[in-house]
Structure 1
Amino acid sequence: MEALHGAILWLNGIVWGPPMLVLLFGTHLYLTFRLKFIQKYVFKAIKLSVTKDDSGAGDISQFGALATALAATIGTGNIVGVATAVSIGGPGAVLWTWLTGFFGIATKYSEGLLAVKYRVKTSDGTMLGGPMYALERGLNMKWLGVLFAVFTVIASFGIGNMTQANSITSMLDASFGFNPVITGVIVTIASAVVILGGVQAIAKVCEALVPFMALFYIVGCAIILVINASFIPQAFATIFAAAFTPQAAAGGFAGSTIMLAMRYGIARGLFSNEAGLGSAPIAAAAAQTKNPVRQALVSMTGVFWDTIVVCLMTGLVLVTSILKNPDVMSGLTGAALTSAAFGQIKGVGPFILSIGLVTFAFSTILGWSYYGEKAFEYLFGKKPAKYYRFVYVAVVMVGSVSANAFVWDLSDTFNAMMAIPNLVGLILLAPVIVAETKKYLWDNNLDEVDTTPIPQIGTKDAM
């Protein structure tokens, strides 16, 4: 196992090296400029996200699709991931995480657009979509779609399952002394109740859970920032300076280079908001929407909430807390660093963090179960995919008691391997994205119904 872990770390260094950073961040920038800074429509998109759209085809509402995607993205990456980025990459990683989110809005928009444009339906009317269908139907590159689906299935058991389940049991054990086995059984049963009910059940639970958990956590962060208010200006200055200059170990921060700040900031930004990963479009394809651009706009709001709001607040909480209490915070990493920061809220701080982490992680388990199942269905068909749910639920229990650094590093590796075919597809299909955007958004036809027939696949399914 030690040798295998070493091999994964070596592979991680390759797939998350400079070429990947250039491909990911470069795609964000490229699509931002091709789409004339689509970020300026974010508030219009937020309004659309809570507007019911009954006239379009789909399995769940636009907000249901967004909530499912947000459930998968607002997870431990917002708490543990940002803390890891800061502890290893230094405070400058916060800026790179935020920039990845800001420019990643254009990428998430593009993913959502292609998911709806190239989706298909089964004989019973169920919608199927995502990068694998865009690669197959839009570029006639089925082999690349197959690769994406394989990576997604594998990643679903890591990023979406074991790491999340283990975060829940570890946090509750550290904070309240709860037995990980008992907690794991409860989490597994709760997951089974929702996941075995299919996408409608997942979307229904996520619609109720996501707003609550996000607001609960944001309020906790806001309280800490009020406590640390005098350090906020210094925190911003430190974050910006550290993003572009090497930092020596000082003031509670470990030493870091510009490349470390970029590598961990961008990697954890992707882990958190998944813009460029290709996972969220799988949920977007199921949305009931008039045309591809409407759902694309709704989809891009996920990055706004996840990174522009939640990750930025987490980063500020961590950096201000380190500046305020360098002796206490020095040497801490991951969840321990965030836990120490929330400890400043006397009495209820650990409770707020624990509830935030538990709900974030549980919702991610739900969202990723859908992603993995649809990727599995693309590879093997509808009937075999039903068994995926049972295996996925069983792995929740395994992760509850056994996930470790190896699983986290493996998740990072398969994140990158998912992103590569998806980003290639986005770049090559950019002319289609621009044309659709012009037709529906720039030419003010956002309420027009797309009458293009949605192809139906046979009961043997996908491939």
Structure 2
Amino acid sequence: MIETISKINSGINGFIWGVPAMIALMGVGIYLSIRLKFMQIINFAYIMKTTVGRIFKKRNVADGALSPFQAATTALAATVGTGNIAGVAGAISIGGPGSVFWMWISAILGMCTKFTEVTLAVYFRKKNKNGELVGGPMYYISNGLPKKWVFLAYTFATFGVLTVFGTGNATQVNTITAAVNVALEGYGIVKSGGSQTINLIIGIIVTILVGLVLLGGIKRIGTVTEKLVPFMALFYVVLALGVVFLNINRVPEVFGSIIYGAFNPRAVTGGVIGSFFISMKKGVSRGIFSNEAGLGTGPIAHASADTGKPVKQGFFGVFEVFADTIVICTLTALVILCSGVNIPFGLPAGAELTISGFIKTYGHGVSLFTAVAMCSFAFSTIIGWGLYGARCIEFLFSEKVIKPFMVVYSLMAIVGATMDLGLLWDISDTFNGLMAIPNLIAVFLLTNVVIKLKNEYFEGEGKEK
């Protein structure tokens, strides 16, 4: 039975994350970029000034809402995860260094897609009975499109609930236990393969921490993410930049291999990877999987922002993709490529390849710091996806199911820490990709709304004189 389910899921997953889906995601990104006049490039300096430039600006926030920055960090908490460490390593090992180039391309286009999603989420959101601002694809579909399309809203929300327990929680906790066991193994505290007792303890601790954060409501989620996300991002960036600076002589060669390998991977990988289509597919798919542009998840968090300007919050969507893929994913790639660690081209690789890059540069003592980074990334993802799941199940039923969902979701951490999650990971990955279908249809159909909002913003009150 399990084998049959695995085969069926494998076939669906191959299509969802295969060439057709990549064409759809990239195609929508190109379409939106053209319709919005490549605003993510032309207005990039202004967008950074409006987002990063105002991070520390104090402001009062209404009850049931987050500050624009808290909304962005909550979305970043979910997107900046283990995929930034393991996903990039997998892309390089299967697609060669050139996959990083295609990751950049997907990010540039994804900035416009995420801008559109976030703008729509804020524009079509509503207040629930608890007085909280709620939004996302299910709301801009049901409130922005004719009634004949409402089934897409329920489809998205259903896939969202089915995804969160695996992608958002169990698999992330599994990564935490692996990171902790590797670190403890390096100090001789546990034997090779880890300890089930330690895994159970980790699962219980994560369950308690996740429950404390999520059951505290939207305000507590925002308070935690606005502190955790900048800390973990800065911590990882400093570690990664250290690897780059200590191997600075290799940087020109590495960037050369990224650009050249994007179109001629065989020449860079010694003939192991012979098609640039593989390089492109791996780079694009890992980039999208990392920054989630087009999947519709991030806008759920952004919809909670206490702002009256949908376009201004949309700029945070651009910043989110930039920080996730252009900054953090690129640094992960440089850690692997600059350190000179042996890359098993043609074979799947994960976080262990990235960790090897750190260890080769700093020595085995760094395993403790990489474990802290991976635990922070994974925990932040659990928090972000907890909010996504709560909003999806609330849309399907009512506000009354939120707290019971939070309890069950928190307890899922124990399952993730103590069980083999091979099939669960694969099925969750499939549902994650399926979320993109109703979202992309809605984004495409509502493009004119975003164009109107964007033009009004820049023509009127938006741009400061």
- Regarding TM over 0.5, the answer is yes
Match of 1:234 among 253, 266, 282: 253
Runs ≥4 residues deviating over 3 A: 48-58, 248-251, 325-332, 442-447
Match of 2:164 among 131, 156, 164: 156
- The alpha carbon displacement at 1:407 in A equals 3.0
Q: Which amino acid aligns with 2:377?
A: F
Equivalent residue, structure 2, for 1:429 = 446
Equivalent residue, structure 1, for 2:65 = 59
Q: Is the 8 A contact 1:55 1:289 kept in 2?
A: no
Q: Is the 8 A contact 1:163 1:403 kept in 2?
A: no
Equivalent residue, structure 2, for 1:17 = 18
Name the CA shift for 1:301/1:84 in 2 (closer, same or farther; >3 Å): same
Q: Deviations over 1:30-70 (max 9, x none)?
A: 21222222222331232244444548896111111011111
Match of 1:93 among 83, 99, 103: 99
Number of equivalenced pairs: 444
2:375 counterpart SS class? helix
User: Which runs of structure 2 are paired with 1:279-298 in the superposition (5 Å)?
Assistant: 279-298=297-316
Q: Is the 8 A contact 1:49 1:298 kept in 2?
A: no
**Where does structure 1 lack aligned partners over 5 or more consecutive residues?**
448-463
TM-score by length of 1: 0.90
Q: How far apart, CA to CA, are the structure 2 residues paired with 1:301 and 1:50?
A: 15
Match of 2:119 among 105, 113, 128: 113
Identical aligned residues as a percent: 41
Computed over aligned residues only, the root mean square deviation of the Cα atoms, in angstroms, reads 2.2
Q: Is the 8 A contact 1:131 1:278 kept in 2?
A: yes
Query: After alignment, is 128-137 or 385-394 more displaced?
Result: 385-394
Equivalent residue, structure 2, for 1:396 = 413
User: Which runs of structure 2 are paired with 1:27-176 in the superposition (5 Å)?
Assistant: 27-39=28-40, 40=44, 41-44=46-49, 45-52=51-58, 54=60, 59-140=65-146, 141-176=149-184
Q: How far apart, CA to CA, are the structure 1 residues paired with 2:29 and 2:223?
A: 31
- The alpha carbon displacement at 1:185 in A equals 1.6
- The alpha carbon displacement at 1:89 in A equals 2.1
- The alpha carbon displacement at 1:246 in A equals 4.4
Q: Is the 8 A contact 1:249 1:256 kept in 2?
A: no
Q: How far apart, CA to CA, are the structure 1 residues paired with 2:88 and 2:390?
A: 28
Q: Which amino acid aligns with 2:228?
A: L
2:435 counterpart SS class? helix
Name the CA shift for 1:398/1:55 in 2 (closer, same or farther; >3 Å): closer
TM-score by length of 2: 0.90
Q: Is the 8 A contact 2:77 2:381 kept in 1?
A: yes
Q: Is the 8 A contact 1:85 1:268 kept in 2?
A: yes
- The alpha carbon displacement at 1:315 in A equals 1.1
User: Which runs of structure 2 are paired with 1:432-451 in the superposition (5 Å)?
Assistant: 432-445=449-462
- The alpha carbon displacement at 1:357 in A equals 0.4
State whether structure 2 residue 318 is matched by structure 1 residue 300: yes
Q: Deviations over 1:189-238 (max 9, x none)?
A: 11111111121111111111111100000011011111222221111121
1:326 counterpart SS class? coil
1:247 counterpart SS class? helix
- The alpha carbon displacement at 1:173 in A equals 1.0
Name the CA shift for 1:418/1:52 in 2 (closer, same or farther; >3 Å): farther
- The alpha carbon displacement at 1:320 in A equals 2.2
- The alpha carbon displacement at 1:263 in A equals 2.3
User: Which runs of structure 2 are paired with 1:277-356 in the superposition (5 Å)?
Assistant: 277-321=295-339, 324-326=340-342, 333-343=349-359, 344-356=361-373
Equivalent residue, structure 1, for 2:293 = 275
Name the CA shift for 1:205/1:57 in 2 (closer, same or farther; >3 Å): closer
Q: How far apart, CA to CA, are the structure 2 residues paired with 1:285 and 1:304?
A: 19
Q: Which amino acid aligns with 2:132?
A: T
Q: Deviations over 1:130-167 (max 9, x none)?
A: 00010111112210010010111111112211111100
Q: How far apart, CA to CA, are the structure 1 residues paired with 2:52 and 2:38?
A: 16
Q: Which amino acid aligns with 1:59?
A: A
Q: Which amino acid aligns with 2:47?
A: V
Query: After alignment, is 256-265 or 205-214 more displaced?
Result: 256-265
Q: Which amino acid aligns with 2:156?
A: F
Match of 2:390 among 373, 376, 379: 373
Q: Is the 8 A contact 2:63 2:131 kept in 1?
A: no
Q: How far apart, CA to CA, are the structure 1 residues paired with 2:304 and 2:295?
A: 18
Q: Which amino acid aligns with 1:157?
A: F
Name the CA shift for 1:288/1:79 in 2 (closer, same or farther; >3 Å): same
Name the CA shift for 1:171/1:256 in 2 (closer, same or farther; >3 Å): farther
State whether structure 2 residue 271 is matched by structure 1 residue 265: no
Equivalent residue, structure 2, for 1:453 = none
Equivalent residue, structure 1, for 2:187 = none
2:85 counterpart SS class? helix
Q: How far apart, CA to CA, are the structure 2 residues paired with 1:112 and 1:328?
A: 38
Name the CA shift for 1:262/1:410 in 2 (closer, same or farther; >3 Å): farther
Name the CA shift for 1:50/1:419 in 2 (closer, same or farther; >3 Å): farther
- The alpha carbon displacement at 1:331 in A equals 6.0
Q: How far apart, CA to CA, are the structure 2 residues paired with 1:333 and 1:424?
A: 33
Q: Deviations over 1:417-441 (max 9, x none)?
A: 1111111111111110010001113
